[in-house]
Amino acid sequence: MAEENILQRAPSQHLGPEYKSNEEKPSATVSTKVSHENVTVLPQTPQLIALLTMIRDKNTNRADFIFYSNRINRLLVEEALNHLPVHPHTITTPVGRTYAGVKFEGKICGVSIMRAGEAMEQALRECCRSVRIGKILIQRDEETSKPRLFYDKLPGDISERWALLLDPMLATGGSALMAVDVLRSRGVPEDHILFLNLIASPEGAANFAQKFPKVRIVTAFVDQGLDEKNYIVPGLGDFGDRFYTM
C-alpha cells in the first residue's frame, strides 16, 4: 500500500527559473514524489535545495545549521498558514479606496514534540505574534521499542484552535502518530491539525497519511527512505543533537 503511493524516489531535476534552458540550470536531487492527497511538499526551488544541502552536510557547524534550519522552518510555517481558512474582508486604504481582501478565521496554536520540535518554535513566533505553544514529550520505550507518552502541556482551549504540530524529522512516524492521538483526545478535530516537518521518509509519510487522512502534512522534502535502523537516508543525522549540542 505504501509503495503504491511512491511515484518516484529521489529523482533528479534541473533547478532554476522557467525562462532558463536546462543547459543553463544545474541538476540536483529533489523530493521523492508521493501521491498522498494530504501531503504538501514545498516547491523544490534552488533556494530550498541550497538550504537543505547546507544542513545535510556533516561539515556544517552548529551556528550555520541553526541559521539555515530556521530559514527552512520559516518557509514551512508560511506554507502551513496558506492552508488555514480565511474569509472575505474589505478595507479602506490610506488614499480612500476600498480593497477586497481576506483575513484569517479562527485561532491557532503550536504544539512541539520535544525536544527537536522546539527548534521550530521561533519560526512560528516570527509569523504569528504571541502564538500559544504547547509541548508533548514522547520517547521510545527501551523494552518494547514503541513510543511512550511522558508529558504533555497544552492550551486549555486547544479544542477550539487549529494546531500546528512541530517535529523536524518524520521517520517511521511513531511519535507523530501518538502526538496526533493526544491532540484528538483533547478534542482537536483531525482536520484542524497540520503537521510540519523538514524531512520525511516515504514510509513515514505513508503511515501518517493512511492513519490520519484528514491531517495535513507540510514538509520540505520526502527523502529516499529508511535504513535498517529506521534512520532517514540520506537524511541529515540527529536534528536535535546538531541543533542544540554539536
- Pull the grid cell for residue 131: 502564538
**Which residue in the list 53, 57, 64, 140 is annotated as catalytic?**
140
**Which residue in the list 45, 71, 132, 238 is annotated as catalytic?**
238
Looking at residue 105, its amino acid is E
**Which residue in the list 64, 191, 227, 241 is annotated as catalytic?**
241
8 Å CB contact between 223 and 235: yes
Nearest Cα to Cα of residue 170 among 219, 132, 137? 219
Helix (H/G/I), strand (E/B), else coil: 246: coil
User: Can you tell me the distance from the alpha carbon of 241 to that of 147, in angstroms, rounded to the nearest whole number?
Assistant: 19
Pairing mode, strands 169-170 and 193-200: parallel
Helix (H/G/I), strand (E/B), else coil: 201: coil
User: Can you tell me the distance from the alpha carbon of 155 to that of 211, in angstroms, rounded to the nearest whole number?
Assistant: 25
DSSP-assigned letter for residue 212: -
Answer yes or no: 227 catalytic.
no
**Which residue in the list 92, 93, 98, 144 is annotated as catalytic?**
144
Answer yes or no: 238 catalytic.
yes
Cis peptide before 26 (omega within 30 of 0): no
Answer yes or no: 140 catalytic.
yes
8 Å CB contact between 164 and 109: yes
Answer yes or no: 97 catalytic.
no
Helix H segments across 3-61? 46-56
Positions marked catalytic: 140, 144, 238, 241
